[in-house]
Amino acid sequence: MLGFGEKDAPPTSNESGSETQTDPLAATQKSRWERLWPVMACGAGLFSDGYINNVIGSVSTMLGKIYGTAYTGSSSQKNISAITFAGTVLGQLIFGYTSDKWSRSNSLLLSTVILIVFAALGAGSYGAGGSLQGMFAALTAYRFLVGIGIGGEYPAGSVACSEASGELKSGTRNRWFILFTNVMIDWGFVIGAFVPYLLVVICSEQHLRAAWRISLGLGVVPPLLLLWLRIKLQEPEEFKKESMKHVKIPYWLVIRYYWKRLLAVSAIWFLYDFSTYSFGIFSSTILTNVMPADAPLSQSFGWNTVINLFYVPGAMFGSILSDWVGLRYALAGGVLCQAVVGFIMAGLYPRLAKPENVAGFAVVYGIFLSLGEVGPGDNIGLVASKTCATGVRGQYYAIAAAMGKIGAFVGTYIFPYIEKAGGTNTNASAQYPFYVSSSFCVLMAFIVLFCLPHIGQDTITNEDIEFRHYLETQGWDVRQLGLLQGESVESRTTAQAALVQAEAEKKE
């Protein structure tokens, strides 16, 4: 259709992503850096997700050391660790809508400002009159609000990142998306474990009050570094062509077309986050159980850092594997391997849990976490962003990601009860979480292989074309896609006709 963003025939691709035709979105006259920096600016903010969510585990341990039962015996311990997930869910849903109906770039900028403000306020938490419970309440509130900013990074940042990566060279798009999204989260996990360790070493256990506040305050740095890039950020080209921001979205048609696919993606994300965030937050607690009772806090935090480092090689290798074999096979293969290691670890836990074997425990546990990154950690965001059309991608992605965070929220609360199910048997208490997580891995692999569609490496152009065709068959006027504010189908048609006539007159 003349002038309304209709694309050429889409490229064909196999599961691993090799294309046989030219992708029109990638055929832009831009330098490599001009194509790459929007991918980085959109996705790298997820570093804050990893850092802010992981650092709280160590901060909570420090608060327990400082305030004893006043902290550990109150609801604050659970609330402070888990409340960020509630804020993230709310942020994902809000920014999922605004990224589709307002602006990808402006939504991303707003989420960045929220991160900066409430990460700083969290570090300075203070109760009225110096009240201890007031300080815990303030920290809980700020953690919830910073979670809203984190939530915005998913639908606004990751979706824009996936759209921007379509302009990169075929055969490398998956890895660039992963490097600036999931790998950033994983580095956030690592730094979120390392910073408290370093601060405990520097400040000593006699000055943990400074250590926990500085640990939280440093969460301001990553979004500040990205702020300038995000101010310059423009809307992705694909969004300009296919958005529904100035028309009424036909939600009933969208639900009929995408509900099964969205349910599968959401289920995978829920199961994955249930395990990975629970294990991440409680990793220092798990280590405390296998280390000598008199081990210093710095030693526990040090091993926690070592374990978190295993996330990175898994994510890095998985980014390449995703390009080689395709999203579905990389995802399913990763979780099946993780299930095998998890079952082995559960079976051998009595031996691994001996204090003299803490190094072996850290390595095997690290491999278990690393394989999770090879699979869903790297690929679930890609799956969510590539299985939906541009006009509703932000909301589709937001719902799937919110289900993941709900899984993390549920897992964080349920994880201690799974441990307690072992009763007085210390080994059983530690084995049960691994049995549960490994069983979830097998279920995830089944959903991936039997419930997800073929996902090639080509850009989301194919999905947009198929969705356009579906809307046409349902009687929806696809000429509305990409309309600007104040523009109508009629006015655009008139403008396009005048432009064509002017070009024809020039040629004459």
Instruction: Assess if residue 25 is contained within a domain.
Output: no
Report which residue type is found at 41: A
Q: What average pLDDT does the chain have?
A: 84
pLDDT at 412: 74
**pLDDT tens digits for range 317-339:** 999 999 998 889 999 999 999 99
- Confidence tier at 175 by pLDDT (50, 70, 90): very high
* Residues 386, 46: Cα–Cα separation, whole Å: 19
Mean pLDDT of 482-502: 74
Residue-wise burial string across 465-495, b where 16 or more C-beta atoms lie within 10 A, e elsewhere: bebbebbeeeeeebbbbbbeeeeeeeebeee
* Residue 126 burial (CB count, 10 A): 12
Query: Given a cut of 70, is residue 25 above it in pLDDT?
Result: no
Give the range of the structural domain holding residue 173, as residue numbers without chain letter.
32-503
Instruction: Assess if residue 242 is contained within a domain.
Output: yes
* Residues 400, 267: Cα–Cα separation, whole Å: 8
* DSSP 8-state assignment for residue 483: P
Q: Give the list of residues 6+ apart from residue 245 with CB closer than 8 angstroms, or none.
A: 100, 101, 102, 103
Nearest alpha-carbon partner for 413 in 80, 53, 78, 75: 78
- CATH number, domain of 461, equals 1.20.1250.20
Instruction: Assess if residue 9 is contained within a domain.
Output: no
pLDDT at 350: 81
Number of domains present in the structure of the chain? 1
Instruction: Assess if residue 11 is contained within a domain.
Output: no
Place of tokens 């998913």: 154
* Residues 62, 378: Cα–Cα separation, whole Å: 31
Instruction: Assess if residue 356 is contained within a domain.
Output: yes
**pLDDT tens digits for range 246-298:** 899 999 999 999 999 999 999 999 999 888 766 655 555 556 656 666 777 78
Instruction: Assess if residue 283 is contained within a domain.
Output: yes
- Yes or no: say if 421 and 267 are a contact pair by the CB < 8 Å rule: no
Report which residue type is found at 267: A
pLDDT at 180: 92
Instruction: Assess if residue 20 is contained within a domain.
Output: no
- The total number of residues shown for the chain amounts to 508
Instruction: Assess if residue 454 is contained within a domain.
Output: yes
pLDDT at 36: 84
Q: Is 204 left (phi over 0), alpha (psi -120 to 50) or beta?
A: left
- Yes or no: say if 389 and 163 are a contact pair by the CB < 8 Å rule: no
Mean pLDDT of 114-125: 94
Confirm whether pTM is higher than 0.95.
no
